[in-house]
Each structure stands twice: as structure tokens, then as C-alpha cells.
């Protein structure tokens, strides 16, 4: 707003100018408002004020806020990637225990066993394969022998892993796949089986037969 100092000097002098000066300072010039709109001055800025520093400070605060948000996003992605990579690293770098069997599994009672008469017992055991634990149904041929209280044979033939059975009439274990024959002590009588039947570790507690790991027989036929 332009002030006509000549008119003030003519109609009142300096005292009137001093009285009207605060009101005149609060008035805004339309041209100044238009200029502020197009130049995007900060609020409260006026012609003659050092607005370059204010605009620079505003720009720096916006850049700092943007960097903070970007850093926060990158940090969250890093945490997610770390959380996902740790289980994968454990799975790849730490070898799992394969096919781990519990130490002792209850197979059945031994009170009804007759000496020299094999009985097929069915039980369940947990098998650990990698990171998976599965409950499997399996069997064992259990027999009382003169030289051992109770013997439990694995259910697979030692030739190709076929299931065999007890032939009461011939008093032998017979494998129908390739006609391997085993006696009641697990030894090979005839056929292509390379070794005797595998045996479980056994123990009896309170009339219950407990089976341990299956031990591979090393004796050659």
C-alpha cells in the first residue's frame, strides 16, 4: 500500500501519520497477494523479507521427512527378509537327523507267546524324515528262543525288502518274491538273501515287549 505523505503533511502533519501508521501496516496490497500466490511464499512472508532461507528450510524439512519414510520402509523389508531367511538357512545348513526312531516302542505283551512259535506283532512308531515326523504302522516277528528270552525280527526280507511270513507246516520263514527261506533263528536256509534277518533290540518290562532300533545283521549267508 502506497502512502501519500504529501496529503498527510498537508492535513495533519506527522501526528496524524503516526496515528494511522499501525493500521496502514496491517493492510495488504492486492498486487502483493497475487505475487505471493504465484511465487508460493511461506505463510507470513512479505516483500522485503528474506524468504529464500525460509523456502530452503521448508524444502530441507520435506527432504528429511521423505528420507525418514524411505529408510523406515527399507528397514521393514530388511526385517521381513531376515525373518524369512533364518529358517531357510537352518534348513539348508544344519543337517536333520534322518529316520530317527524313538529309543523304545511298546509292541505288545509277551505272556501269550509260546516257545518256538513266531507271532507277528503290529505297532506304531514315529519316523523322523528331515523336518517331518510321521507315525507309521509297522510289524515285527516275535519268537521265544532257547538261547534268548524274546527275539524280534524286522518285517523285510534282506534280499530286496519284501514282506515274508511264517510257514508253520515247513517251520520256516518264507519270502514269496524270490523264494528266500530263513529258519526260526533268522539264518538263511536257501535263496538269494545275502544275510540273516535283521533284529530289533528288545527288552521286557512288566510283561510288555519294548522294541528299540532295528539292527542290520552283518553275518553273511
159-172 pLDDT, tens digit per residue, is 998 999 999 988 99
Q: Is 122 helix (H, G, I), strand (E, B) or coil?
A: strand
- Give the contacts of 203 (CB within 8 A, at least 6 positions apart): 104, 209, 210, 212
pLDDT of residue 152: 93
pLDDT of residue 13: 54
221 domain-assigned: no
The verdict on 84 and 109 lying in the same domain is no
The verdict on 110 and 167 lying in the same domain is yes
pLDDT of residue 98: 47
What's the pTM? 0.52
The verdict on 109 and 205 lying in the same domain is yes
Among 65, 92, 119, the domain boundary falls at: 92
111 domain-assigned: yes
**Domain hosting residue 141, numbered range:** 105-215
Q: Is the pLDDT of residue 69 over 50?
A: yes
The total domain count for the chain is 2
pLDDT digits 0-9 by tens, 196-210: 999 999 988 888 899
Among 92, 126, 161, the domain boundary falls at: 92
pLDDT digits 0-9 by tens, 100-140: 545 788 888 888 888 889 999 988 877 766 667 777 888 99
Whole-number average pLDDT of the chain: 75
DSSP code for 221: -
Q: Is the pLDDT of residue 37 over 90?
A: no
Amino acid at each position: 500500500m502506497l502512502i501519500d505523505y504529501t496529503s498527510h503533511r498537508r492535513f495533519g502533519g506527522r501526528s496524524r501519520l503516526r496515528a494511522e501508521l499501525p493500521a496502514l501496516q496491517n493492510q495488504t496490497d492486492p498486487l502483493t497477494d497475487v505475487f505471493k500466490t504465484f511465487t508460493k511464499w511461506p505463510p507470513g512472508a512479505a516483500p522485503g523479507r528474506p524468504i529464500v532461507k525460509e523456502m530452503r528450510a521448508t524444502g530441507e524439512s520435506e527432504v528429511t521427512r521423505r528420507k525418514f519414510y524411505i529408510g523406515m520402509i527399507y528397514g521393514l523389508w530388511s526385517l521381513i527378509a531376515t525373518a524369512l531367511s533364518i529358517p531357510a538357512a537352518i534348513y539348508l545348513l544344519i543337517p536333520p537327523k534322518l529316520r530317527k526312531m524313538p529309543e523304545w516302542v511298546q509292541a505288545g505283551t509277551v505272556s501269550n507267546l509260546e516257545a518256538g512259535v513266531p507271532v507277528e506283532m503290529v505297532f506304531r512308531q514315529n519316523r523322523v524324515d528331515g523336518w517331518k515326523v510321521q507315525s507309521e504302522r509297522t510289524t515285527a516277528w516275535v519268537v521265544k528262543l532257547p538261547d534268548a528270552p524274546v527275539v524280534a525280527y524286522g518285517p523285510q526280507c534282506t534280499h530286496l525288502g519284501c514282506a515274508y511270513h511264517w510257514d508253520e507246516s515247513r517251520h520256516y520263514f518264507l519270502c514269496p518274491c524270490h523264494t528266500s527261506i530263513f529258519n526260526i533263528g533268522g539264518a538263511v536256509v536257501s535263496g538269494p538273501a545275502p544275510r540273516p534277518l535283521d533284529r530289533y533290540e528288545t527288552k521286557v518290562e512288566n510283561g510288555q515287549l519294548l522294541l528299540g532300533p532295528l539292527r542290520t545283521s552283518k553275518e553273511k549267508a
